[in-house]
């Protein structure tokens, strides 16, 4: 893999990290998304972050959270309100990528969500995230999953 491609993947990974933190903050505080984004950009070194992707993830996941929740509810084993805030933010981001970014292989979406859960979540939350998003990917990416077999 070329260094340019590696840098692009790393920039997207960093965008996801900041986005999940912003989504979490929004869930907890209901602060306006533009304020969360502006503060994040001021307080962090963002020169190696895919800023367009960060902006898209943060704004679109928050704007579409109800539709994303409707996708998640059938594949959850508990109420949304029973989810840890980090789990919910990570699941919403993963659901958005599975639904709206078909150019990203479903396995990459799952791997990235697992890494976010390992970094920010509780001890075993990555296992839960993996299970939920795998079930969701069976609905949203059925053809892709069949080809992968």
SS3 of residue 86 by DSSP: helix
Q: Are 110 and 71 in contact (CB under 8 A)?
A: no
pLDDT tens digits for range 21-68: 999 999 999 999 999 999 999 999 999 999 999 999 999 999 999 999
What is the domain extent for residue 48? 3-148
pLDDT tens digits for range 63-95: 999 999 999 999 999 999 999 999 999 999 999
Overall number of domains in the chain: 1
- We report the CATH number of the domain holding residue 76 as 1.10.940.10
CA distances from 119 to 85, 112, 116, 130 (A): 14, 11, 5, 14
Residue with tokens 């869930």: 27
Q: Are 21 and 93 in contact (CB under 8 A)?
A: no
Whole-number Å distance between alpha carbons of 149 and 141: 13
Report pTM.
0.95
Residues in the chain: 149
Q: Are 86 and 117 in contact (CB under 8 A)?
A: yes
């Amino acid at each position: 893999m070329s260094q340019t491609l590696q840098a692009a993947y790393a920039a997207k990974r960093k965008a996801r990290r900041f986005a999940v933190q912003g989504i979490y903050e929004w869930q907890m505080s209901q602060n306006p998304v533009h304020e969360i984004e502006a503060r994040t950009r001021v307080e962090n070194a963002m020169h190696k972050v895919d800023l367009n992707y960060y902006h898209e993830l943060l704004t679109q996941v928050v704007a579409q959270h109800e539709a994303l929740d409707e996708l998640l509810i059938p594949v959850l084993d508990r109420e949304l309100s029973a989810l840890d805030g980090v789990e919910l933010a990570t699941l919403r981001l993963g659901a958005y990528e599975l639904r709206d970014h078909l150019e990203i292989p479903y396995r990459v979406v799952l791997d990235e969500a697992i890494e976010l859960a390992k970094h920010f979540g509780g001890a075993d939350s990555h296992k839960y995230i993996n299970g939920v998003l795998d079930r969701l990917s069976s609905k949203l990416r059925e053809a892709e999953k069949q080809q992968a077999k």
